[in-house]
Amino acid sequence: MSTESALDLDLQGNIENFTLPEIFQLLAAGRKSGTLGIQREDSIVMIYFDAGDVTYGYGPRQTFHLGQLLRERGKLTSEQLDEAITTQASTDNSKRLGEILIAKGFIDRADLEAVVKNQVEELLYSLLSWQSGSFKFYENQFPTDEEITVSLSVENVILEGLRRLDEQNMVRETLPDLDRVYTISASQAGRTRAVTLRASEWNIMALVNGQRTMNEVCQASSLEREESLNRLAQLKLAGIITPCEKKAPAASNDSQLGAMVNRLSHLLESYLSEKEVLRVEDRKISTTLAGKDQ
């Protein structure tokens, strides 16, 4: 069954059987728009999607969290927050706290957009640690009309969220067979992926070529084995690499290209780790030359 036809079905179930990273990937692959409702005991979270990207999300105590974030960043005083909350209560909560803060001149729109983005990201990261609960996707339905939205790549959300989880458990569950071969996933048709990877993730991804097993990738990597496995598990859960049948050896030109990619990956990693040293050396050289000119 194709991804598109699968998404035409009623998408709902339990997190124990269908993990949230898998659900996010499915919605991103189908470029779906709508609301994903997730519930665990008394906690209910709603995540908005537009063409496969996350645009908004809210959960328990959202209003308090927004005001707290603005106050912690020095954008709002406690007195201003109390005044805005009082105003909101007098309107029967019909207005968003952020809208009230802007109307009163306490913050500007850029401040609110930055905090909303951070708030949605943190909500998504916390969701990835949920091991139980239920979910349902409401296609083309949105409970609220949000004036301020964001655009978050599902792949980036999953990668950053998984960086915060227990990595050893993640590796065991995500890569149970280290003799499997993986390849780079193809971008979904009509969807541009703007994925932000760290140097270590570029390093390991460059070794995934449809021929090496996970064990062989770890052996070829300049990273420690544990770190290599962590990065591979994160890339798989983000949908960036996928299992495949072992491909035939590439032609000589392709092999040369692959070698160049690997070399560039190592150079990038070295550059990122040593750039501060280079800056110091540049300053020393500049100082020496200046001294000679005098």
Q: What is the mean pLDDT of residues 175-181?
A: 92
CA distances from 181 to 110, 200, 207, 232, 243 (A): 45, 20, 11, 12, 6
Indicate if the pLDDT at residue 261 is higher than 60: no
- Please check whether residue 205 is in contact with residue 262, taking contact to mean a CB–CB distance below 8 angstroms: no
CA distances from 145 to 57, 96, 148 (A): 12, 11, 9
Name the residue with tokens 């994903």.
36
Indicate if the pLDDT at residue 101 is higher than 70: yes
Range of 74-78, 171-175, 210-214 with top mean pLDDT: 210-214
Indicate if the pLDDT at residue 243 is higher than 70: yes
CB half-sphere exposure, 233, CA atoms < 13 A: 24
Q: What is the mean pLDDT of residues 51-72?
A: 79
pLDDT number for residue 253: 52
Task: For each of the domains in the chain, give its residue range(s) and CATH number, in order of start.
Answer: 1-152 (no CATH), 169-267 (1.10.10)
Indicate if the pLDDT at residue 160 is higher than 60: yes
SS3 state at 116 = helix
> 200-225: per-residue pLDDT in tens?
889 899 999 999 999 999 988 888 88
Closest CA to 50 of 191, 237, 162: 191
Q: What is the mean pLDDT of residues 145-153?
A: 87
| Band of pLDDT at residue 98, cut at 50, 70 and 90 | confident
Indicate if the pLDDT at residue 47 is higher than 90: yes
Relative to beta strand 241-244, strand 43-50 is unpaired
pLDDT number for residue 39: 94
Q: pTM value?
A: 0.57
Bridge partner residues of 183 (DSSP): 242
Phi, psi of 219 (to 5 degrees): -65, -35
b/e map 234-255, b = 16+ CB within 10 Å? bbbbbbbbeeeeeeeeeeeeee
Cβ of 85: how many Cβ atoms within 10 Å?
Answer: 17
pLDDT number for residue 177: 92
**In whole angstroms, what is the distance from residue 23 CA to residue 35 CA?**
12
Secondary structure (DSSP) of 179-228: T-EEEEPPPPTT--------HHHHHHHTT--SSSBHHHHHHH-SS-HHHH
Q: Which residue has the higher pLDDT, 202 or 275?
A: 202
Phi, psi of 73 (to 5 degrees): -85, 0
Secondary structure (DSSP) of 43-56: EEEEEEEETTEEEE
Cβ of 229: how many Cβ atoms within 10 Å?
Answer: 25
Rg of the chain's alpha carbons, rounded to an integer?
24
Q: Lowest-confidence range among 23-37, 131-145, 147-161, 248-262?
A: 248-262
Q: Which residue has the higher pLDDT, 95 or 259?
A: 95
Cβ of 178: how many Cβ atoms within 10 Å?
Answer: 14
Q: Lowest-confidence range among 27-31, 56-60, 227-231, 266-270?
A: 266-270
Q: Give all strands (DSSP E) within the chain, no chain letters.
A: 12-14, 34-40, 43-50, 53-58, 134-139, 181-184, 241-244
